[in-house]
Structure 1
Amino acid sequence: MIGAVRIIFVLAAFILLVVSLVPFQYVFMKLNHVFQRRLPRFFHRLVARLFGFRVKTIGTMSEDRPLLLVSNHVSWSDIIVLSTVGEVSFIAKSEVRTWPVFGYLAYLQRSVFVERAKRGKTGKQASEIATRLAAGDAMVLFPEGTTSDGNRLLPFKTALFGAAHAAIREGGVSQVTVQPVSIAYTGVHGMPMGRYHRPIASWPGDVELMPHLKGILKEGAIDVEITFGEPMVIDTNTDRKLLARVMEERVRSQLQSSLLGREIKPD
C-alpha cells in the first residue's frame, strides 16, 4: 500500500515538474539561449531527488572543451544521474526518440539520435556529433551500444569514436578531450546492492520500460556512484581503435572499483 501511494505521489510530482519546465526549455532551444544547457541539469537534479537516486561523485568532469565523455550504460536512469553532475547532452539510439515522454525529454536535452545498425550513416552521424563537440557541448557516448546488467562492461563499439576526429577535422579545433566515466548502482535503502539485487537498477534490453520504472519508484532510495577518470587528449594522429580500447580499460577498472569498494587499476 505504501509503495503504491509513493508511486502515485512521485508520478504526480514528475508530471507537474515536466509541465512547469518543458515550455521554458523549448523556448531556450528556439532562441539558442545558454540556459538550454543549464535547465536540463536543474530538472534532472529535481527528478533524481524525486525518484530517490542518491548520487556520489568521484573525480570531476573535465572543464576542457571539446569534451567527449565515454560511459558504461546500465539503465535509462543513467541519463538522470549523469545529468545531475554536469551540463551534458547524450548520443542516443534512434529508438529513444519514439519513447513516450522520455523520448521528448531526450530531444529537449538536445540529444543526438543515431542509427547504430546502419553503417552507411556512421560518417554523417559522427559529423553531427562533431559539430556539437566543436560548439562546446559536452557529449556523452555509450559505446557498449546497449544497456548491461550493471555487473560488467560489454565490449565497446568503435565506430562513433570517430566523432572526436571529425571534430578536429571539421570543427577547426586542434584537439579533443576524451574522458572515461563509470556509473555503478551500489546500494538500496542504505544497504549494499550486490550482484543479486542489481536488477532493481539495471535495465537490460529485454525488460519493458514501464514495469522497471515502477520498480525504481517503489524502492525510492538507490545509491549511485559516478566516477570521472583520467582524461585523454587526442589529436589527428590518435588511432580510433586504440582510443576505444584505452577508454574501455579505464571504464572497466572504474566500474569494478565502485562495485567492489576498492581501487582496481586498468591492465
Structure 2
Amino acid sequence: MSNILLTKTPFLIRGWRIARISLHVLIGLTLATLVLPVANRNVRTAIIQWWCRRLLRCFNITLTISGALPGKDTHGVLFVANHISWVDIHAINSLLPVRFVAKLEVRNWPVFGYLVRKSGTIFINRTRQRDAARVVQIASNALKLRDNLCVFPEGTTTEGTQVLPFKSSLIQAAIDANTIVIPVAIRYAQPDGSLNLAAAYAGETTMVESMLAFIHMRSPTVHLHFCHPILAREMSRQALAELAHAEITQVLSPISPSNQQAPSLQTPDQEAVA
C-alpha cells in the first residue's frame, strides 16, 4: 500500500480518469459486440490496437520499449513473456496484433473478460492436463495461419521480483508450426527505476483493486524489452522454454535505475485534454 501512497494522484484527477476509463470501456463493449464479429482481420487488428493504446492513455500509463521491436509486418510469431498484470496484455496489443493464450479464469474478469473473449483469446483450463494438447493444436494452427500469439508460461502473475520457471507445454505450438519465438521481458518501474510492486495483479488482489491502484498512481510506467528471435525448430520445447526464461531473466536482473532506462514510446497523457 505504501507503494501506492507515494505516488497518489489528487482526487479530481482520479475522478477524471475514472470517467474517461468508463467511457472508453463502453466504447470497447460496443465495438466488441457490434463490429469485431463482422470485421475482417485488418479492421479487427486496427480496432484492438487503437483501443489498447487509448486504454493506456486513460490510465495515464507510459509505455517504453527497448530491444529488437518486431515490425508491423510480423506474422506467425510466438511471443513468450513474464506476467505481472492485466496491463501486460494491453501494452503488447497496443504495439502488435497479437492473440493471447490465457487461463480460463480470465473469461470471468469484470468487463475485460468479455473484451478478451471477443478479441480472439485462446483459453486453457490449467486444472485439466489434457487441455494443453487441445490448446497447442489450436495455437499451432493459428501460427500457421500467420496469427501472432503470446503466452505467459509462468502460468500465473507475479510481483515482478522474480521470473518463475516456464512451463513448456504451450511452447510446443511454435515447434509444430516451424516458426520463431520472441521472448518479451516486462517490468513496471517507479520514477527512480525501482520496481513498482503496486502494479502487480497477483496474490489476493482483485481486478477492481488492481485498476484502482493504477488510477491512484501519478505516472505508472510499463516497460517491454523484446529479445532476439529464437528458431523454434532447432530446439526441444524444454530447451526453448529454458532459453526464453534465461533471456528474460537476464534483461530483468540485476534491477537498477542505471540499466533499466528506455526511450518512451508513449508519453503520459495530458489529463486536461479528452
Partners in 1 of 2:123 and 2:226 — Cα distance?
Answer: 24
What are the residue-to-residue correspondences of 1:83-232 with 2, within 5 Å?
83-166=93-176, 168=177, 175-187=178-190, 191-195=191-195, 198-232=196-230
The verdict on how the C-alpha distance between 1:129 and 1:249 changes in structure 2, with shifts beyond 3 A counting, is same
Partners in 2 of 1:19 and 1:214 — Cα distance?
Answer: 18
Aligned residues: 250
Match of 2:264 in 1: none
Match of 2:56 in 1: 48
Q: Indicate conservation of the 8 Å contact 2:9/2:218, yes or no.
A: no
Partners in 1 of 2:125 and 2:257 — Cα distance?
Answer: 35
Partners in 2 of 1:2 and 1:247 — Cα distance?
Answer: 37
Alignment-mate amino acid for residue 14 of structure 1: I
The alpha carbon displacement at 1:135 in A equals: 1.7
Residue of 241, 246, 250 corresponding to 1:249: 246
The alpha carbon displacement at 1:25 in A equals: 4.1
Larger strand fraction of residues? 1
Moved over 4 A (4+): 257-260
The alpha carbon displacement at 1:156 in A equals: 0.6
1:19 aligns with 2:26: yes
Q: Secondary structure at the match of 1:163?
A: helix
Q: Indicate conservation of the 8 Å contact 2:193/2:257, yes or no.
A: no
Q: Secondary structure at the match of 1:192?
A: coil
Q: Indicate conservation of the 8 Å contact 1:65/1:176, yes or no.
A: no
Alignment-mate amino acid for residue 19 of structure 1: L
Partners in 2 of 1:109 and 1:205 — Cα distance?
Answer: 26
The verdict on how the C-alpha distance between 1:106 and 1:205 changes in structure 2, with shifts beyond 3 A counting, is farther
Instruction: Determine which structure has greater relative contact order: mean sequence separation of CA pairs < 8 Å that are 6+ residues apart, divided by chain length.
Output: 2
Alignment-mate amino acid for residue 52 of structure 1: N
Q: Secondary structure at the match of 1:57?
A: strand
Unaligned runs of 5+ in 1: 169-174
**Percent of residue pairs bearing the same amino acid type:** 25
Unaligned runs of 5+ in 2: 1-7, 261-274
The verdict on how the C-alpha distance between 1:238 and 1:2 changes in structure 2, with shifts beyond 3 A counting, is closer
Larger helix fraction of residues? 1
Q: Secondary structure at the match of 1:132?
A: helix
Q: Secondary structure at the match of 2:53?
A: helix
Q: Indicate conservation of the 8 Å contact 1:97/1:106, yes or no.
A: yes
The alignment yields a C-alpha RMSD, in angstroms, of 2.1
1:5 aligns with 2:12: yes
